[in-house]
Amino acid sequence: MTGLDRIVENALLEDIHTGDITTLAVVPEPRAAHARLIAKEAMVLAGIDVAARVFHLLDNTVLFTPAFRDGDRLQPGDVLAGVDGNAAILLQGERVALNLLQRMCGVATLTSRYVTAVEGTKARVVDTRKTTPGLRMLDKYAVRVGGGINHRTGLYDGVLIKENHIAAAGGITEAIRRARAYIPHTMKIEIETESLAEVGEALAADADIIMLDNMDLATMAEAVRLIDGRALVEASGGVNLDTIRAIAGTGVDIISVGALTHSARAMDISMLLEGV
């Protein structure tokens, strides 16, 4: 079973469980139907194949015909896709398909706004691990569709030494030393800093990426000057659409934005059934 199928099947089980009582009562006999997925507001499309997979896992004879591709910009009234199959199947898959599609479009749309906000600077917009439990794969895919870049996927594929790690290890230098001794030579070490003194210590310990956590603009700019290209510089904390342009202006390389996935609003998409 693929990761996507596991996500979709869990969502279908959560919604349908032992049976769709309403559909079983109201639409007991098989009958052909056609449905349209319609955008109700402007958005960046993400997850069209995920929506298709919902219906195909319920019934692989369902015909799902997309009219747009992920990354396309939609306007109100655009028909994303047509869906043809047994009416009962379309009704059972409707909410799960829309829930996943609406969330993914929301993440992609919000990410696109952040990426647009830093155009013309060298800063790259990246996501965080602040994703919806169980949906990280979809959240991070939607970030890429919106023009953002993925940070580490989870705790297993990147070293990010944070405040509590530093406290547990006894300091920045010791935490970096332990990490360097543990990981393969192909992996980079990132460390969180909260002051210029900590930035200096991280530099002396040869950190590959230095995160500036919740620093004001003047301190960030001074940290970038101090680092002087000897490590990648990431800004984090307090980032929103009103502040990101100024943060990018300090010269940082990366800006991590938890809001891309923890605060994205689901886009308004509806499914209309016809031809029953």
CB 250 within 8 Å of CB 235: yes
Residues noted as catalytic: 95, 130, 162, 192, 213
Instruction: Please identify which residue in the block is written with the tokens 């990366």.
Output: 254
CB 190 within 8 Å of CB 161: yes
Buried b (16+ CB within 10 A) or exposed e, 114-133: bbebbeebebbbbbbbebee
Tokens of 122: 């060298």
Q: How many CB atoms lie within 10 A of CB 79?
A: 15
Cα–Cα distance measured from residue 100 to residue 11, given in angstroms and rounded to the nearest whole number? 9
Q: How many CB atoms lie within 10 A of CB 66?
A: 18
List the beta bridge partners of residue 76: none
Characterize the bridge pairing of strands 232-236 and 209-213: parallel
- Specify burial of residue 143 (Cβ count, 10 A radius: 0-12, 13-18, 19+): buried
Q: To the nearest 10°, the Cα dihedral for 239, 245, 248, 249?
A: -130
Nearest to 78 by CA among 105, 51, 43, 107: 43
List the beta bridge partners of residue 38: 79, 270
